[in-house]
């Protein structure tokens, strides 16, 4: 389910023109979120990205980052700064890596827009109780969008061990 | 440029040996005719029965399929075994005027129901083709997306059908197979077995006056390859990548293949 959310997010960025992946046509990018998510491949093809968990195939370039950096990205920290501070590691075919850096550093993650596109009932169906609790928290929160952002970023990364919704709500 | 439909290919070609029709072994050449009988018989009540038998869940599974497709404006999409048109309706909204959707099925009665549904919804841009999934009358490298929902288990030679789907997809094109599958949960399995073999055919008898067809549908689900086997078949057919997502605990799985 995390892959579904990630794939939706990336393709939305392509469709609304935030990123242009044409230069990465036919490239496979291995994405590692250290200690948290199993590795995934981003398959860039036909002007879209497919997120695939079968990483037995080879990739052109690898991108590796720690969860706190990923969170920082979601919370709006500047990507170029993170790259400059060496917090995101990129290895592999130099040309593809350069294209990827170019792409990432010109990307503006508009999370509000992304979340506004979610089909809530699919997420609710597949994520069951946790998603229902998120809905409750969101309803009760004075700032629903912020609550939704927090909830989804957490679900994206650690749906099972998320403690946030297990006991009483904040 | 719109999709060219090549000259008619027979819906059935002679084949050897035997195959399964539900739990029965039948001559391979006879299976298509028997499947046709089932869907001729259920066509008129198909949508109602789907809602009743899946408690409406088939709508969510289909929505997940559409959302996973990454189909966008301008795309060419072929829905195989599309029946009453649920996927075609949603695809046509996604591809817009610049794209093209073809709703196809081997069965004229099901295709007719599909056409009726689309027209009732004010959708006129979709094309309809009666075809057998094993012989797709399209040029190679034509479609951005090919889908088949709850259809593959009825196809006699699934490997051939998968190779055909691979052929007509563009490089980078995406295959979506939504189909009943195997659940790992013992509890869910017990409930599901009881439901499909005891309740489903009875409901089929009561609502659609057709217990036998729903008995076949339940049996054909058990005969269908499990998640991993189907994934291997997709890769074997030539797809560069394939993965699946279990829905409702694995009762249904969505396989997604990418042509490289
Ligand atoms: C269970 S219905 C699914 C209809 C629709 N896709 C849905 O999800 O509601 C299965 C469909 O597969 C079609 N079918 C069976 N064998 C086929 C074949 N070899 N080629 C194309 N369609 C086939 C049947 O006619 C029937 O309409």
Q: Check which CATH number belongs to the domain holding B100 and give it.
A: 3.40.50.150
Q: Is the pLDDT of residue A135 over 70?
A: no
Instruction: Name every protein residue with a CB atom under 6 angstroms from any ligand 1 atom.
Output: B 35, 39, 80-84, 86, 105-107, 110, 132-133, 149-151, 154-155
Q: What number is the average pLDDT over the span A29-58?
A: 86
Per-residue confidence at A119, pLDDT binned at 50, 70, 90? very low
For the entire predicted model, the pTM comes to: 0.82
Task: Identify which of A1, A8, A53 has the shortest CB distance to residue B243.
Answer: A53
pLDDT value for A163: 36
**Mutation test of ligand 1: which of B105, B116, B180, B200 has the most ligand atoms closer than 8 Å to its C-beta?**
B105
Contacts of A26 in chain B (CB under 8 A): 171-172, 260
Q: What value does the mean pLDDT take over residues A83-109? A: 74
What pLDDT score does A2 carry?
62
Ligand 1, atom 14, lies closest to the CA of: B81
A147: DSSP letter: H
Q: What is the reported pLDDT for B67?
A: 86
Q: Is residue B1 part of a domain?
A: no
Say if the ipTM goes beyond 0.90: no
From A4, A43, A126, residue closest to B241, measured CB to CB: A43
Query: Does the structure show a pLDDT above 70 at A55?
Result: yes
Residue A119 is nearest to which of B63, B72, B171, comparing CB atoms? B63
Could you tell me the distance, in angstroms and rounded to a whole number, from the CA of residue A83 to the centre of ligand 1? 50
The predicted pLDDT at position A124 comes to 46
Q: Do A50 and B256 touch (CB under 8 A)?
A: yes
Q: pLDDT digit string (tens) for B34-53? A: 888 888 888 888 888 888 88
**Candidate from A67-81, A135-149, B45-59, B242-256 with smallest mean pLDDT:** A135-149
Judge contact between B132 and B11, C-beta under 8 A.
yes
B78-132: pLDDT as tens digits: 999 999 999 999 999 999 999 999 999 999 999 999 999 999 999 999 999 999 9
Whether residue B200 lies inside any domain: the answer is: no
What's the pLDDT band for B146 if we cut at 50, 70, 90?
Answer: very high
Nearest to A11 by CA among A40, A39, A47: A47
Residue B35 falls inside a structural domain: no
Contact B118, B103 (CB under 8 A): yes
Q: Please name the residue of chain B whose CA is at the shortest distance from the CA of residue A2.
A: B245
The boundaries of the domain holding residue B85 are 71-181+224-260
Q: Which of residues 17-76 of A touch B (CB under 8 A)?
A: 25-26, 41, 43, 45-46, 48-50, 52-54, 57
Which residues in chain B are closer than 8 Å to A3, comparing Cβ atoms?
A: 245
When the pLDDT of each residue in chain A is averaged and rounded to a whole number, the result is 68
Q: How far apart are the CA of B98 and the centre of ligand 1, in A?
A: 27
- The nearest CA of chain A is from the CA of B75 a distance in Å of 10
In a domain, B103, yes or no: yes
Looking at every residue in chain B, the average pLDDT score rounds to 90
Please give the tally of structural domains in chain B: 1
Residue B95: φ, ψ to 5° = -80, -20
Pocket test for ligand 1, best of B20, B50, B151, B254 (most atoms within 8 A of CB): B151
Quick check: is B121 in a domain?
yes
- Give A105 or B18, the one with higher predicted confidence: B18
Positive or negative: CA dihedral A64, A65, A71, A72: negative
The closest of B207, B206, B179 to B81, measured between CA atoms, is B179
Catalogue all structural domains in chain A, each as residue range(s) with its CATH number.
2-112 (3.30.1050.10), 120-170 (no CATH)
Indicate whether B149 belongs to any domain.
yes
Distance CA B87, CA B101 (A): 10
Residue B243 lies inside a defined structural domain of this protein? yes
Query: How far is B211 from B214, CA to CA, in rounded Å?
Result: 5
Distance CA A114, CA A119 (A): 11
Indicate whether B98 belongs to any domain. yes
pLDDT at residue B230 in the model: 97
pLDDT tens-place string over residues B153-185: 999 999 999 999 999 999 999 999 999 999 888
Strand order in the sheet with A61-65: A48-52, A40-45, A28-33, A61-65, A88-92
What is the model's pLDDT at position B55?
Answer: 79
Q: Does residue A145 or residue B239 have the better pLDDT? A: B239
Hey, is the C-beta of A119 within 8 angstroms of any chain B C-beta?
Answer: yes
Q: What is the pLDDT of residue A20?
A: 80
What pLDDT does A140 receive? 60
Give percent above pLDDT 70 in chain A. 54
Q: How far is B209 from chain A (nearest CA, A)?
A: 32
């Amino acid at each position: 389910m995390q892959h579904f959310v990630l794939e939706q997010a990336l393709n939305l960025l392509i469709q609304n023109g935030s990123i242009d992946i044409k230069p990465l046509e036919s490239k496979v990018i291995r994405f590692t979120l250290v200690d948290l998510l199993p590795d995934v491949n981003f398959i860039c093809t036909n002007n879209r990205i497919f997120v695939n968990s079968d990483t037995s195939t080879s990739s052109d370039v690898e991108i590796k980052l720690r969860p706190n950096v990923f969170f920082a990205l979601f919370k709006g920290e500047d990507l170029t700064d993170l790259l400059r501070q060496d917090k995101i590691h990129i290895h592999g075919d130099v040309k593809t890596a350069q294209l990827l850096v170019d792409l990432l550093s010109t990307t503006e993650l508009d999370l509000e827009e992304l979340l506004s596109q979610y089909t809530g009932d699919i997420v609710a169906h597949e994520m069951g109780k946790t998603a229902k609790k998120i809905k409750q928290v969101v309803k009760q929160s004075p700032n629903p969008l912020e609550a939704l952002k927090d909830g989804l970023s957490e679900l994206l990364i650690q749906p099972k061990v998320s403690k946030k919704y297990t006991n009483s709500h904040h | 440029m719109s999709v060219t439909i090549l000259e008619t290919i027979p819906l059935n070609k002679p084949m050897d040996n035997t195959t399964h029709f539900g739990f029965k072994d039948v001559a391979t050449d006879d299976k298509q005719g028997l499947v046709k009988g089932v869907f001729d018989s259920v066509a008129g009540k198909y949508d109602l029965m789907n809602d009743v038998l899946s408690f409406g869940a088939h709508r969510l599974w289909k929505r997940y399929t559409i959302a996973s497709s990454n189909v966008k404006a301008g795309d060419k999409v072929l829905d195989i075994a599309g029946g009453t048109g649920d996927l075609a309706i949603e695809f046509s909204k996604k591809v817009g005027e610049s794209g093209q959707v073809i709703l196809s099925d081997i069965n004229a009665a099901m295709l007719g129901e599909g056409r009726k549904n689309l027209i009732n919804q004010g959708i006129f841009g979709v094309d309809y083709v009666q075809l057998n999934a094993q012989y797709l009358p399209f040029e190679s490298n034509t479609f951005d997306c090919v889908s088949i929902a709850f259809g593959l288990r009825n196809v006699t030679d699934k490997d051939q059908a998968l190779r055909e789907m691979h052929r007509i997809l563009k490089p980078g094109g995406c295959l979506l197979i939504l189909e009943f599958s195997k659940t790992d949960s013992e509890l869910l399995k017990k409930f599901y077995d009881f439901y499909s073999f005891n309740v489903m055919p009875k409901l089929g008898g009561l609502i659609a006056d057709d217990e036998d067809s729903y008995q076949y549908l339940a049996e054909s689900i058990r005969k269908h390859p499990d998640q991993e086997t189907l994934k291997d078949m997709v890769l074997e057919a030539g797809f560069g990548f394939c993965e699946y997502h279990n829905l409702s605990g694995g009762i249904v799985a969505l396989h997604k293949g990418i042509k490289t």
